[in-house]
Amino acid sequence: MLFDKLFDYLGSGSVTVSPKAGHDLAHYAVGAILLAFFGIFVDYGHMLWLRSKLKPPGPRPWPIVGNTFMLPDTKPWFWFEELSKKYDAPLITIWIGRNPTIWVCDAWAASDLFEKKAGIYSSRPRMVVFAELGAGQSNFLNMYTTTPAQRERWRAHRKLMHQGVGVQAVRRYRAFQNNESRVVALDLLRRPAEYVAHFERYATSVVSIIAFGRRVETSADPIITEVIAAMHVAADLNVPGKTFPMLMETFPALARVPNAVAPWKHGLGRKRGRFFFYALAAEAGEQEGHEDSFVKHIFAESEKQGLGVEEIASLTGNLFGAGSDTSSSTLITFILACCAFPETLGPAWEELDRVVGPYRSPTWEDEENLPYVKAFVKEVFRWRSVAIIGGQPHAPTQDDYYKGWLIPKGSWIQGNVWAIHHNEREFPEPDRFNPKRFLADSPDSRPFPGERGYMTFGWGRRVCSGQALAEQGTWITIARILWGFRVQKAKGPDGSVIEVDINDYTNGLNWRPQPFECSITPRSAEVEETIKREGRQALEELEQYRGESKYRMSTFYK
């Protein structure tokens, strides 16, 4: 249509073009086209040379776009797993535009690269969507570590995160984390159908107490609904794919177009969300009491560490946003597993009745005496890991080789947790929820790198900073729900069982089950009374964390 209008314009008499000028114009146009084709030919030849000589195997890339348009519409980690099996290779290469991305689909390869060579694989590749249009190098998640200055900055952020939610720090939080878990049990007793809202309130409240010194009392609090909704949007937008905004990873020049004329950017690059989290931090930092809160520690260290507004906002936002979404999603997966695999509940009930009894709920001191419950929690982490591709990609700080394959410096290399946790060599019948996999004397147990037996939280120096907090809270909450309730498939009005679908999950990088109905009832009258008593006591002890923010994400920028 554009060319038709141009020809009409040229032929209208408004413009006169001499035969010689027209001949020269056509000559230049042909030359430009030939030059473009030659450039594409040379570039594609270079891509194929790299593919055949240097990289792990994968499908043949197309010129310019690579394998981008071969990606499935949803859940690409399934396709990466299939390719790993097709090529019989622990690593595969997928070209996103002209850039190779390497996907690790094997536990032992992931351990060899990300754990044993953690010093090399500690950096990040270029990430147009998540980093350059997001928080950039102000965010601990995105920071490069290729130069001494970058490593020093990253270490400063990592130290602050470890001081907030590291292995030693989280033990200080057990009292209020346990009380919030008791409140979850009380909420499930009163309104079992709203289990998703209860889990989101619980997870958000725990990180809110840690970060700001104040709890979240109700599931209707906008701080839950708005922040978790924002986390879901971010997770959905960052799935590797062939649609915008992730298509900008294939065509990065499109990221430089101003937002006003670039609807494909989905509003990314405005640098707005991070300032909301700074406002929350500053508000909590100015209030009296709870001097051990994370934000007060950050502000106390800000001058020494030279922290800017964006860095403080990112540190707070990472803790608050990610901690609330991932923990609640893990608990929803736990409920799904109970419904889909009821045969796994009997051993847990027997163990809890024998060790704990009905007149108190489990505590962390019971953990070593509850090996089956401990194994149950590990299987929840393994069966449907929330961070299904292990968080953000890694990048080597120097050229490296694995099984004769070159992994160039700065390459995008990422773990496929789905494939790792569903390899039948380590996990026979991987879709079956089976806690006995994690019992040392069980015939279902198989060797696996690392002492935990799963890779849910990533690897090496880029392992999730909140791992200890998540593991601590997930154990006590799952143990308490197993102790207190019968979690089963729901029944319809006619008494028929409503089935659940173990594969019906969202598409985001932090996925969770789609909504499903279930039945959650107390296991006995004695247990019910204990839940009520402990829940009331927990609410009294949590009263010290009562508080409210004046800020709402939905109105902050108005």
* Mean pLDDT in residue range 357-382: 98
The dihedrals phi and psi of 510, each to the nearest 5 degrees, come to: -105, 90
Is residue 21 in some structural domain?
no
Rounded Cα–Cα distance for residues 186 and 180 (Å):
10
Rounded Cα–Cα distance for residues 22 and 254 (Å):
33
Is residue 496 in some structural domain?
yes
Rounded Cα–Cα distance for residues 345 and 341 (Å):
8
Range of the domain at 210: 124-384+467-545
Is residue 50 in some structural domain?
no
Q: How many CB atoms lie within 10 A of CB 254?
A: 16
Nearest to 388 by CA among 235, 229, 502: 235
Is residue 555 in some structural domain?
no
On the question of pLDDT at 58 being above 80, the answer is yes
Is residue 170 in some structural domain?
yes
Is residue 427 in some structural domain?
no
My answer on whether omega of the bond before 245 falls inside 30° of 0, hence cis, is yes
Q: What kind and span of H or E run contains 274?
A: helix 273-286
Q: What is the largest CA-CA distance in the chain?
A: 99
Do 296 and 160 meet the contact criterion of CB atoms below 8 Å apart?
A: no
- Please give the tally of structural domains in the chain: 1
The CATH number of residue 176's host domain is 1.10.630.10
pLDDT in the model for residue 272: 63
Q: How many CB atoms lie within 10 A of CB 72?
A: 14
Rounded Cα–Cα distance for residues 474 and 199 (Å):
11
On the question of pLDDT at 499 being above 50, the answer is yes
* Mean pLDDT in residue range 118-129: 96
pLDDT in the model for residue 21: 61
Q: How many CB atoms lie within 10 A of CB 52?
A: 10
User: Dihedral, CA atoms, 223, 227, 228, 233, nearest 10 degrees?
Assistant: 160
User: Dihedral, CA atoms, 198, 204, 207, 210, nearest 10 degrees?
Assistant: -80
pLDDT digits (tens, 9 = 90+) for 342-365: 999 999 999 999 999 999 999 999
Is residue 311 in some structural domain?
yes
On the question of pLDDT at 93 being above 50, the answer is yes
Percentage of the chain beyond pLDDT 70 is 95
The dihedrals phi and psi of 295, each to the nearest 5 degrees, come to: -70, -35
Buried residues in 17-33 as b, exposed as e (16+ CB within 10 A): eeeeeeeeeeeeeeeee
Is residue 116 in some structural domain?
no
* Mean pLDDT in residue range 310-331: 90
pLDDT in the model for residue 135: 85
Average confidence score pLDDT of the chain = 92
Cα of first residue to Cα of last residue in the chain, in angstroms, is 42
Query: How many angstroms separate the Cα of 35 from the Cα of each of 31, 32, 41, 272, 483?
Result: 6, 5, 10, 42, 72
Q: How many CB atoms lie within 10 A of CB 229?
A: 14
What's 99's DSSP letter? E
